[in-house]
Amino acid sequence: MEGFNPGQEGSAEIVFFDIETTVPNRAGQRFWVLEFGAIVVCPRNLVELESYSTLIKPKDLSTVALRSGRCDGITRDAVADAPGFEHVADKIFSLLNGRIWAGHNIQRFDCVRIKEAFSDIGRPPPLSAGIIDSLGVLTEKFGKRAGNMKMASLATYFGLGQQKHRSLADVRMNLEVLKHCATVLFLESSLPSILNGSWQSPPTITTRSRSSAGKSTCREETSRKSSSPPSVGYQRSVPYTRGSLGKVTERMKNLLCKAQGSQPINNLLKHSHSVLR
pLDDT of 157-174, one tens digit each? 999 999 998 999 999 999
The predicted pLDDT at position 142 comes to 76
Candidates 135, 143, 131; CA nearest to 105 is 135
- The catalytic position among 104, 165, 180, 271 is 165
Residues 6+ apart with CB under 8 A from 237: 107, 108
> 33 φ, ψ to 5°?
-75, 125
Question: Above 60 in pLDDT, residue 75?
Answer: yes
Question: Above 70 in pLDDT, residue 45?
Answer: yes
C-alpha 101/C-alpha 78 separation (Å) is 28
The residue among 100 and 254 whose pLDDT is bigger is 100
The predicted pLDDT at position 12 comes to 77
According to DSSP, the residues that pair with 100 across neighbouring strands are 14, 130
| pLDDT tens digits, 232-265 | 333 333 343 444 445 545 555 555 444 344 444 4
The predicted pLDDT at position 252 comes to 53
Task: Note if 180 is an active site residue.
Answer: no
| pLDDT tens digits, 200-237 | 555 544 444 444 444 443 343 434 554 444 333 333 33
Residue 42, CA distances (Å) to 30, 121, 253, 261 in order: 35, 31, 16, 14
Residue 199, CA distances (Å) to 37, 146, 174, 195, 196 in order: 34, 10, 22, 8, 8
Q: What is the pTM of this model?
A: 0.69
Helix, strand or coil, per DSSP, at residue 103: strand
C-alpha 176/C-alpha 130 separation (Å) is 20
Residues 6+ apart with CB under 8 A from 79: 34, 55, 56, 57, 58, 61, 64
> 118 φ, ψ to 5°?
-70, -35
Average pLDDT over residues 98-105: 96
Helix, strand or coil, per DSSP, at residue 222: coil
The predicted pLDDT at position 194 comes to 87
